[in-house]
Chain A
């Protein structure tokens, strides 16, 4: 008799997305294990306990914990969703931009500098306002819209002195006058599932910062850009944030690899959790076939 699939779900806290995913796993009668990343540990000389999993879905809230877990699991040949390679690209905005540029995906104009003086030069070249973003971070945290040289000097100094070393990797982006919204598109594999507008009066349009989700009908242009962006970062389960640029049209602002969909699922009425579970099962089955 063929062994049942066993799925691991690496998570940190029980957000509504995790509740929906666990419910979807249970609904399908799948054998799954909840792996709290604050409780588990890896013995790097003994992958045996982890080899029981046909696939592991990574939902860690900490980018670093999730990334290192994926690196270990992938090194042991255990399939994960997403892969460590995808997390490496998507979890770092600079790396995402580099991969999008390499693939010719439209995105905001970005510059990078490694010292406050060089960052100030890059900012002055852009003109004001301009946006400074941490390369690693989420939920709109620590984004800075810089309106003049005085603010630029102050923020660069604060980042270099008070921030971790990573804050001295200065990732500078043109400020886009967007129409009070962005578009979040959710993909699973090569399928664009659904999309929502995220509307806010604030220039930061993350739902974590209070933006509201509204129905968006996927257009062929959106589908094409998102599939190209997904391919550029390595594919998998992704949330792609698009911005309507007044001159360039749609541009890819971010690609998220452990996407939240607490707004997208109720607004779109697409059961995203079910789609995620179906994809994980597909990956798990594929790995068994290879074996």
Chain B
């Protein structure tokens, strides 16, 4: 389990086992969406904002 800081509020976030690159996680403190951009070392970025043509 890797530990990393929220890009928005600096909260400590523990990445669960099985977390993958490009996965979106939600900061448990401020609620912002974050994208996992690497695992070793663990790095997060603010997740892209939803676009009008996103979906299924």
Binding site for B on A (CB under 8 A): 11-15, 18-19, 22, 36, 61-64, 134, 136-139, 141-142, 164, 208, 239, 256-260
Contact = CB atoms under 8 A, between A and B. Distances in A.
B21 interface: yes
Contacts of B18: 19
Contacts of A14: 20-24, 36
A19 to B, nearest CB: 6
Contacts of B47: 13
18 contacts: A12-B22, A13-B23, A13-B24, A13-B48, A14-B22, A18-B22, A19-B18, A36-B22, A61-B54, A62-B54, A64-B53, A137-B52, A139-B55, A141-B55, A164-B52, A256-B56, A258-B55, A260-B56
A36 B23 CA distance: 12
Interface in B10-24: 18, 20-24
Nearest to B53: A63
Nearest to B35: A13
Interface of B: 18, 20-24, 35-36, 47-48, 51-56
B22 A63 contact: no
B23 A239 contact: no
Contact of A137 (B22, B23, B35, B53): B53
A63 B54 contact: yes
Chain B at the A interface: SS class: loop
- The DSSP consensus for interface residues of chain A is loop
A62 B20 contact: no
Contacts of A259: 56
Contacts of A239: 56
Given A14-B20, A14-B21, A36-B22, A62 B53 contact: yes
Contacts of B23: 13-14, 19
Contact of A139 (B20, B21, B54): B54
Contact of B22 (A11, A138, A256): A11
B24 to A, nearest CB: 6
Nearest to A11: B22
Given A11-B22, A19-B23, A36-B22, A138 B35 contact: no
A209 to B, nearest CB: 12
A137 B54 CA distance: 7
B24 A61 contact: no
Contacts of A164: 52
Contacts of A18: 22
A63 B51 CA distance: 10
Query: 10 closest A-B pairs (Cβ-Cβ)?
Result: A138-B55, A14-B23, A14-B22, A63-B53, A256-B56, A260-B56, A14-B20, A61-B54, A139-B55, A64-B53
A137 B20 contact: no
Contacts of B54: 61-63, 138-139
Nearest to B36: A14
B1 to A, nearest CB: 17
